[in-house]
Amino acid sequence: MIRIIACGKVKDAWLRKGIEEYATRIRPYDKIEIAEVPDEKAPDSNSAAENEQVKLIEGERLLKKINDGDYVILLDLAGKECDSIALSERISSIYTYGKSRIDFVIGGSLGVSEALIRRSDFRWKLSSNTFPHQLCRLLVLEQIYRSFRILHHEPYHK
Amino acid sequence: MIRIIACGKVKDAWLRKGIEEYATRIRPYDKIEIAEVPDEKAPDSNSAAENEQVKLIEGERLLKKINDGDYVILLDLAGKECDSIALSERISSIYTYGKSRIDFVIGGSLGVSEALIRRSDFRWKLSSNTFPHQLCRLLVLEQIYRSFRILHHEPYHK
């Protein structure tokens, strides 16, 4: 099964709708769950140390959602690229080698903690461009859906 | 002013809403217009030659929307990366050097024609991952909005 583990509620109704839409499209291929942990306030007036603290707390909350045997794909601007074909191959080989749950972890607005980086099995750079972390949820779901379409030799949109 | 030149109608209502939302956020910073040209049907049964023809026709329609003096940024998987800071610097320097209109051109589901590639001033690879071209509209608008926030030294979401 696939889990998206992410921080904070999605505020925009259109974005919630899009996320739900892609989750629905994935369901015929695999179980999918979105696990949301509360985010911390990070006002612009925060010091660097305070921001570090926010990242740490959010990181701990995300970590708690991860089970021991899970394969963890961490969304990380400092990670490696993985195009749509490579992602489908990765998902297929994770399942083949006995892992039954893949967690896609999306950090909060300040990025990902060191502890999350250590726990991750693969750090994925989706783009060199920074996107709002809530929009990332949609993009990750679209890529997972696309992966299953590729694995099932079905057409998918470009 | 900024123009998005793209193929086909956006079918999902939530996506239309998201696109409109970002266009509205951009408007305090610059004029923004979305120019849509009709797309061609490209059924999976199409031969390679038929698909090439679709790309050509859609390319011609997109080209017709581009004015002589425009600076053209073409979304292209075979292009170069341009992170959010670099994009904001690029937009700023285009305006500084006398171009008054920037066109972001998004091809159809089969990609971009050779003629479009020749006309473009910059080919931008947004991600190694393929996204539906209609979703690209949202992503490009988000990055343009982010660019203006960066240029105005205003906070923006991550």
Which amino acid is present at A3? R
Structure-block tokens of residue B18: 């998201």
B109:A157 CB<8 A = yes
Inform me whether the C-beta atom of residue A118 falls under 8 Å from chain B C-beta atoms: no
Residues of B in contact with A126 (CB under 8 A): 127, 129
Say which range, A43-47, A96-100, B128-132, B150-154, has the weakest mean pLDDT: A43-47
Q: Read out DSSP for A102-140?
A: EEEEE-BTTB--HHHHHH-SEEE---SS---HHHHHHHH
Inform me whether the C-beta atom of residue A33 falls under 8 Å from chain B C-beta atoms: no
Q: Distance, in angstroms, between A16 CA and closest chain B CA? A: 9
Residues of A in contact with B14 (CB under 8 A): 14-15, 17-18, 21
Per-residue pLDDT of A89-124, as tens digits, reads 999 999 999 899 999 999 998 889 999 999 999 999
Residue B153: which H helix or E strand, with range? none
B130:A17 CB<8 A = no
Q: What does the alpha-carbon distance between residue A123 and residue A119 come to, in Å, rounded to a whole number? A: 10
Residues of B in contact with A18 (CB under 8 A): 12, 14-15, 18
Residues of B in contact with A146 (CB under 8 A): 130
CA dihedral A79, A143, B121, B138 (to 10 degrees): -110
Residues of A in contact with B155 (CB under 8 A): 44
What 3-state DSSP class applies to A141? helix
Q: What is the pLDDT of residue B26?
A: 98
C-beta of residue B136 within 8 angstroms of C-beta of residue B100:
no
User: For B127-141, what is the mean pLDDT?
Assistant: 95
C-beta of residue A10 within 8 angstroms of C-beta of residue A137:
yes
Query: Pick from A134, A25, A85, A18: which is nearest to B134 by CA?
Result: A18
Per-residue pLDDT of B78-104, as tens digits, reads 999 999 999 999 999 999 998 999 999
Between strands A122-124 and B102-106, the pairing is unpaired
- Could you identify the residue written with the tokens 């990055």? B143
Nearest to B127 among A14, A126, A134 (CB): A126
Q: What does the alpha-carbon distance between residue B129 and residue B141 come to, in Å, rounded to a whole number? A: 18
Count of Cβ atoms closer than 10 Å to residue A98 Cβ: 8
Chain A residue with CA closest to B106: the answer is A158
- Binned at pLDDT 50, 70 and 90, residue A42 comes out as confident
Could you say which DSSP state residue B45 is in? T
Q: Is the pLDDT of residue A158 over 80?
A: no
Q: What is the pLDDT of residue A98?
A: 86
Structure-block tokens of residue B38: 């009709």
Inform me whether the C-beta atom of residue A135 falls under 8 Å from chain B C-beta atoms: yes
Q: What is the pLDDT of residue B45?
A: 85
Q: What is the pLDDT of residue A43?
A: 84
Structure-block tokens of residue A68: 């021991």
Q: What is the pLDDT of residue A41?
A: 87
User: For B8-16, what is the mean pLDDT?
Assistant: 96
Q: Distance, in angstroms, between A69 CA and closest chain B CA? A: 27
Query: Pick from A60, A153, A41: which is nearest to A107 by CA?
Result: A60
Report pTM: 0.94
- Binned at pLDDT 50, 70 and 90, residue B44 comes out as confident
B21:A14 CB<8 A = yes
